Each structure stands twice: as structure tokens, then as C-alpha cells.
């Protein structure tokens, strides 16, 4: 399973990279704005800055909602750096744009996936990744993990190469369950990745080891 971090914060990306488990980055206009990054040139530069920190894929999202707008923006984003993956929304023109980019050899991430049908359309159109938002489904009392399982079954049935990128991941059990279900990638905040480190018995065991060492060397 690949680990992506969902942020525009360069310090957090560096921290995840230094941990040794980072495979890529996803970000979006909201996350850019959260870091105070505004204006087209600043946003484009920031994408390049992210690419210099991690050698993995970096999803950069288009703003336009028409086919022509998405194609124009997506081509500009793809030219920024070889690591850029163009993030396209799951809408009618977005599916058309996925096919266009696929035929041009531009990698894509279809975002805002909330149903297996949407994931099927994205794969048919040639998306490199699909991003089902499991946390947002959980927020409305729907089962986000069931969506991962359904997409995995469909893709395996037909041999689709599109990777399932479990998005809106909130905590350790989201990651563990997505891994068990066969999601190819997870993306979430640094806190969700770091939550995998934690177990009370690890803390207790380490404390005992250190205490025993201190007794024997005092």
C-alpha cells in the first residue's frame, strides 16, 4: 500500500518524507488556501516545491468545470513537473477530460468519488487513480469502507489498472481496513499516518526495558 499525505504544508511533507514511508502527496485549492497560498503563480510554484521534497506522485487539482477549462489547466499543470498527476472532478466533462488526458499520456486522479458507478466510469475513461472519499461518507452515516470493497471487486473482475486511492482517511483503523480490503493507496493528514505508530503496550514495554537497563547500569 502506498502512503500519500493530504496537505499543502511543506514542513509536514518533509516530516512524512523523513519518516521513510511517504510515496506521494495529494492537495487541493482548499489546502493551499489553508497555508495562505493564493494566486495562480504562487500555487503553481508551490506544486513544484512539493515535487522537490518527495520523489513520488503529486496530485494537482484543476479548478475549471468545463472540458476546455480542465484540458487547458491540466496540460499546464502536467508541464510543471514529471511527478504531477492532474486531479479531475467526477463530473460529465471530467470523464471526458480523463479520456483526453489518458490518450495524451497525462496521468490523472479522479476525485470526489462516492459510488462504485463513478469509479467504474473513471476507470473506463483511463484514470490513473480514483479517490473515493471514505471519511466524508462516514460523516453522513454511510459506510466508506464498503465503497472501497465494491470498487476493488469491480476492478479485479475486469482487470482495470486504475489504482484505488482511499481519500479522506481520518485515523489508523481507516488505513488498516483499507489495506485489508486492497486499496492501492491511502491519503490523509500526517496525524493519520503517525497514528499507526501508537500502541500502549509498546510504550509500556519500552519504559520497562529502559528501567531495567538503568537498574543494571547504575
pLDDT, one tens digit per residue, over 155-196 is 999 999 999 999 999 999 999 999 999 999 999 999 999 999
Question: What residues of the chain score a pLDDT lower than 50?
Answer: none
Question: What is the maximum alpha-carbon separation in the chain?
Answer: 73
pTM of the predicted model, to two decimals? 0.94
- 14-36 b/e with 16+ CB inside 10 Å = b? eebbeeeebbbbbbbeebbeeee
Per-residue pLDDT, 213: 82
| Cell numbers found for residue 116 | 462504485
Per-residue pLDDT, 216: 76
Per-residue pLDDT, 212: 85
**Catalytic residue positions, numbered:** 87
Amino acid at each position: 500500500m502506498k502512503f500519500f499525505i493530504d496537505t499543502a504544508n511543506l514542513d509536514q511533507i518533509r516530516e512524512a518524507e523523513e519518516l521513510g514511508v511517504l510515496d506521494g502527496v495529494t492537495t487541493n485549492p482548499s489546502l493551499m488556501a489553508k497555508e495562505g497560498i493564493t494566486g495562480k503563480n504562487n500555487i503553481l510554484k508551490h506544486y513544484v516545491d512539493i515535487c522537490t521534497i518527495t520523489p513520488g506522485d503529486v496530485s494537482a487539482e484543476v479548478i475549471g468545470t468545463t472540458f476546455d477549462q480542465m484540458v487547458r489547466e491540466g496540460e499546464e499543470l502536467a508541464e510543471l513537473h514529471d511527478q504531477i498527476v492532474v486531479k479531475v472532478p467526477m463530473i460529465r466533462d471530467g470523464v471526458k477530460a480523463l479520456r483526453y488526458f489518458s490518450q495524451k499520456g497525462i496521468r490523472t486522479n479522479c476525485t470526489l468519488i462516492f459510488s462504485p458507478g463513478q469509479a467504474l466510469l473513471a476507470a473506463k475513461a483511463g484514470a490513473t487513480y480514483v479517490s473515493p472519499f471514505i471519511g466524508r461518507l462516514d460523516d453522513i452515516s454511510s459506510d466508506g469502507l464498503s465503497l472501497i470493497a465494491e470498487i476493488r471487486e469491480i476492478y479485479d473482475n475486469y482487470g482495470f489498472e486504475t489504482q484505488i486511492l482511499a481519500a479522506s482517511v481520518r485515523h489508523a483503523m481507516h488505513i488498516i481496513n483499507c489495506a485489508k480490503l486492497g486499496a492501492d493507496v491511502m491519503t490523509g493528514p500526517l496525524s493519520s499516518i503517525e497514528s499507526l505508530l501508537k500502541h500502549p503496550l509498546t510504550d509500556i514495554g519500552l519504559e520497562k526495558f529502559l528501567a531495567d537497563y538503568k537498574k543494571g547500569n547504575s
